[in-house]
Amino acid sequence: MIDEKISPAVIRRLPRYYRYLSEMEEAGIDKLSSSQMSMDMGLNASQIRRDLNCFGGFGQQGYGYSVTKLKKEIARILGLNKRYKVVIIGAGRIGQALLGYRSFMLEGFEIVGIFDSDPAKMGLLPEGHEVFGLESLDSFIAENGIDIAIICTPKEAAQKSADHLVSCGIKGIWNFAPVDVAVRRGVAVENIHLSDSLYVLSYKLCK
């Protein structure tokens, strides 16, 4: 992977490029110029070229970008060519909803276990998944080589969960609890703050 510091702004745009390219590919388009992308995506053409060039020259002068090739390259940059083993912590509504999210699996994120502290939640869910107790988490992570944990606990439990997961060697946390969990350097965290987004919507509504 390229090492010189790439700005977070660029990185956050990569998934958008990826989505766009997937759509174009589905639509049967096999060639795109930066100016075409620019019009479709509402970004500056030169910014697009610059973004892509952070990772290498994927285009061809006088021709443009091959949709399939570029999509594959971005997938590689994002690490979507890998497979990740994932556990979910918290078998509430969100946890269960994510459990059934088939499209994650397609992209290489395989949910192999869901855990909860509440004994009432233990046992079989629809579709054959089983909810385990938290006491079995450590050994499960060790035995199954888990890469990513999704935190779907109430906010009170989130930081404790994160600490626990990190101590088990988890390297990536996808956090749905409405707190900013703190982890040591070397562990990646992405937060989905649902209510933050809803509040911003509310703000926009009363402007």
Both structure tokens of 166: 């990190």
Both structure tokens of 204: 């926009």
172: partner contacted, choices a copy of itself, DNA, none (Cβ within 5-8 A by kind)? a copy of itself
Whose tokens are 């952070």? That residue is 54
Both structure tokens of 185: 């350097």
Of 172, 24, 6, nearest to 89 by C-alpha is: 172
For 186: left if phi > 0, alpha if psi spans -120 to 50, otherwise beta; the answer is left
Pairing of strands 31-32, 65-66: antiparallel
Stretch that binds DNA, among 55-63, 106-114, 120-128, 186-194 (CB under 7 A): 55-63
Binding residues for a copy of itself restricted to 104-123, rule: CB under 8 A = 104, 107, 109
Is 136 or 196 the residue whose CB approaches a copy of itself more closely? 196
Where does this chain bind DNA (CB under 7 A)? 7-10, 32-35, 43-47, 49-50, 52-53, 57-65
Where does this chain bind a copy of itself (CB under 8 A)? 1, 11-12, 14-16, 18-19, 77-80, 82, 84, 93-94, 96-97, 100-101, 103-104, 107, 109, 147-148, 171-174, 178-180, 188-207
